[in-house]
Structure 1
């Protein structure tokens, strides 16, 4: 890929037109990758997101693998099967009591229709899905936003409650403190309708800063 190949993507073009500070970051970080699991159902995606919350990726992957091993005939535990699994078996996978409670709530939400199929979710707008999913105990707006961005590939999600997103903007603009969620939401207006891509690059700003590669 040439150094300017990224300019062919509409989202990148839009961000660069909105603020020149995006350009060096985009050059260093490269193109945003496609969704990691675009065919997952919202039910599975929400459940996996809960497992990964506040854990290192490797630890969460190990817990997920142990959970899946309990259901060898299912690609991912179906709601009824998950609800029928004794707490002790779920705890043996490394899940905390709180996460077990949340996973069961997600399973109940799928059976009750609060969590729809992927096909139906694709026809709903972002805020409607967030409102549905956050009815479930333990599922907050951040979790819903991550599923919208990664699994449903929604292009205009701005997770202003995310520490890394706010820190990325602080570093990019050399601010003394992180912006408040409301302030970042206002700053993000020019990035519409590609705020999901902007959020991804703000996470990369943090990565580049930790590696000492952030442009000065």
Structure 2
């Protein structure tokens, strides 16, 4: 099979090793990592591609693509490049954030440990919603277990060089399932209802990443999302942070964020919401990146 190669210049404040280490900690069957690279399948306009990502000796990102569907064109070459740029959030200008963070009492430790980290995104909005809903009011370990079951029960299994990969379940498939079918993997019936409801909205194009991107006001985006059953402010901000890329998305009620602030600030207790608002006032416009670095500190 023909392998196509693209090269991508990287920002100076990007560390492939730091981002690879993050992905190693979140590997879930949708992609695989080793000491030097990341591999996964992606679907573009119904066409299947296998990609391998690593860094060259001159610090350029190398993207090797195998055309599984035999449909590789310049158009898909551009789409693959855009997918990678989005996944690694390569188009954001982070110098102002680093200037703020290096002087910030709560950010200087995570910035020092993880300099070069990017907000590795969840490009698929249905996956972002599912992960956020599964994570509501349970610990990260059990949420990860539920996600693994969800992927392997309803996703498509693919094999490459003897290794299993999975495609995330489609919203159209999940929308067609019964509550009893979803309940069998261990989710509460309420979460089954929420996920199936979101699946139907996405399958019918009532919610899309593109529509949310077009909204310039995060308050309007949060208002639209929280009008959906099962979507509260935390879930809305999580999706806007991880998928839609609002730089000021801020899941202020997140327990992991509270624990990270306690650790980073050497506090004897977790800060209150009012105290967090005061702390975060210094991060205006970069709340999402402050949150992501603090999450990395504890996860």
Q: 1:121 aligns with which of 188, 193, 212?
A: 212
Cα shift readout 1:141-181 (whole Å, capped 9, x = no counterpart): 11111111111122112221011212222222222222211
- Determine which of 235, 245, 262 is the counterpart of 1:143: 235
- The residue aligned with 1:14 is 100
2:134 corresponding residue in structure 1: 51
**Quick one: higher RCO (CA 8 Å, sep 6+), 1 or 2?**
1
CA RMSD of aligned residues (A): 2.9
| Closer, same or farther: CA 20–89 of 1 in aligned 2, 3 Å | closer
Q: Which has the higher helix share?
A: 1
| SS at 1:175 equivalent | coil
| 2:100 pairs with 1:100 | no
- Tell me, yes or no, if the aligned pair for 2:100 and 2:283 is still in contact at 8 Å: yes
Greater strand share, 1 or 2? 2
Residues in 2 aligned to 1:32 and 1:87: alpha-carbon distance in whole angstroms = 39
Q: Write the distance in 2 (CA, Å) between the matches of 1:206 and 1:192.
A: 22
Q: What is the CA–CA distance in structure 1 between the aligned matches of 2:190 and 2:118, rounded to whole Å?
A: 32
- Are the equivalent residues in 2 in contact too, given 1:82–1:104 (CA < 8 A)? yes
2:155 is paired with a residue of what secondary structure? helix
Distance across 1 between alignment mates of 2:116 and 2:209: 26
Query: Normalized against structure 1, the TM-score is what?
Result: 0.75
Q: Give the CA deviation at 1:5.
A: 5.4
